[in-house]
Amino acid sequence: MTEQDDTRLVDSGADSEDTAVEAALRPRALDEFVGQERVREQLTLVLSAARQRGASADHVLLSGGPGLGKTTLSMIIAAEMGAPIRITSGPAIQHAGDLAAILSSLTEGEVLFLDEIHRMSRPAEEMLYMAMEDFRVDVVVGKGPGATAIPLELPPFTLVGATTRAGLLPPPLRDRFGFTGHLDFYEPAELERVLHRSAGLLGVEIEPAGAAEIAGRSRGTPRIANRLLRRVRDFAQVRADGFVTREVAARALEVFEVDAGGLDRLDRAVLHALLKLFDGGPVGLSTLAVAVGEERETVEEVAEPFLVRAGLLARTPRGRVATPAAWAHLGLNRR
């Protein structure tokens, strides 16, 4: 999981409520997994071939932003292979010994899901090379000149590594994966399918236009779509008759300050300052941050990535610049 943020509805990392609810909403088989057609087809082939050979599947690397379905896919891989799954993450493995303990307790064919694999420590990473290639590790016992390496055979297993960007991985590690799948942001129509499926599981009645309204505000991310659906459900239950129409969804998300483009209060404050105070820029990041009363890092890491992706803001060598779409989005005329 990525950094937690309990306060932003449109953050793509998991918060504590997500963690509790997501298990119930996860698709359990490849054909329930919405979108990502290419990765799905490629994985279907890789897994079917391994099953036919009666072997464990090749190691799989999944790249893509938070909330796009990497954990879900790893569980599906295990389910499709009829294998158990062990879940851990790079930051949890600080010493080679931590990894050795996990690897040596794997059973034959087991899937090991290593989230944020790019954040593993160097010694652990080197141990992983050998484990992936030869299903063997050298466990070092003792220290100094008396230290000895005891070779340990491992049962064949499938490593599923997840990272936000495959480019963050050192090439020797990247090369040891037999298959790399990249997860893209989802199209609104795909998010609508995610929403209808989740609504069914949560017992929420929703009309197609209601799902479309939520999908358009979900930043291409299923986790955000599912989270907005839960807030819309709250609103529908308390302020309406429980049925999610387009209007109910729009009113609910207005209350929670997520606008029609999926921007929240912070995103809009940044755009607003850029347009109104600096006439669309260019303006330096620090100046912009002071203008919205936030830390520089918050503006840069929390608000900007989506504003850039949405084509509303550009980072230039001279500073931040608003695009024509930004003026249109806030309903302002360019002076």
Ligand X SMILES: Nc1ncnc2c1ncn2[C@@H]1O[C@H](COP(=O)(O)OP(=O)(O)OP(=O)(O)O)[C@@H](O)[C@H]1O
Binding-site sequence positions for ATP:
25-26, 67, 70-72, 133-135, 176, 186, 223
Among the listed residues 8, 10, 22, 302, the single contact to ligand X using CB under 6 A? 22
26 in contact with ligand X (CB under 6 A)? yes
160 in contact with ligand X (CB under 6 A)? no
258 in contact with ligand X (CB under 6 A)? no
Query: Closest separation between CB of residue 115 and ligand X, Å?
Result: 6
1 in contact with ligand X (CB under 6 A)? yes
Which of 2, 88, 164, 298 is the catalytic position? 164
Token code pair at residue 29: 């088989």
The answer to whether the CB of 90 falls within 8 A of the CB of 118 is: yes
Among the listed residues 9, 39, 111, 194, the single contact to ligand X using CB under 6 A? 194
* 143 is known as an active-site residue: no
188 in contact with ligand X (CB under 6 A)? no
* 223 is known as an active-site residue: yes
Which of 8, 174, 219, 223 is the catalytic position? 223
214 in contact with ligand X (CB under 6 A)? no
- Residue in the shown chain whose Cβ atom is closest to ligand X: 69
Query: Closest separation between CB of residue 184 and ligand X, Å?
Result: 11
Q: CA 74 to CA 256: how far, in whole Å?
A: 32
Whose structure tokens read 């309990």? 6
Which of 18, 71, 158, 259 is the catalytic position? 71
Q: CA 163 to CA 269: how far, in whole Å?
A: 30
The answer to whether the CB of 228 falls within 8 A of the CB of 214 is: yes
Q: What angle do CA 242, 243, 245 make, to 5 degrees?
A: 135
x-or-dash pattern for ligand X, window 108-127, by CB under 6 A?
Answer: -------x------------
The answer to whether the CB of 184 falls within 8 A of the CB of 38 is: no
196 in contact with ligand X (CB under 6 A)? no
Among the listed residues 30, 50, 57, 71, the single contact to ligand X using CB under 6 A? 71
Maximum Cα interatomic distance, the chain, rounded to a whole number of Å: 75
Q: CA 273 to CA 150: how far, in whole Å?
A: 61
DSSP code, position 30: G
Query: Closest separation between CB of residue 154 and ligand X, Å?
Result: 25
* 234 is known as an active-site residue: no
Give the amino acid at 83. Answer: A
Query: Closest separation between CB of residue 126 and ligand X, Å?
Result: 24
Q: CA 230 to CA 30: how far, in whole Å?
A: 24
227 in contact with ligand X (CB under 6 A)? no
Among the listed residues 27, 90, 109, 220, the single contact to ligand X using CB under 6 A? 27
320 in contact with ligand X (CB under 6 A)? no
The answer to whether the CB of 64 falls within 8 A of the CB of 164 is: yes
| SS3 label, residue 150 | strand
Q: Which H helix or E strand runs over 139?
A: strand 136-141
DSSP code, position 206: B
164 backbone dihedrals φ, ψ, rounded to 5° = -70, -30
* 115 is known as an active-site residue: yes
Token code pair at residue 225: 């779509």
25 in contact with ligand X (CB under 6 A)? yes
User: Which residue numbers are catalytic?
Assistant: 70-71, 115, 164, 223
Per CB under 6 A, residues contacting ligand X are 1-2, 13-14, 22, 25-27, 33-36, 66-72, 115, 194, 222-223, 226
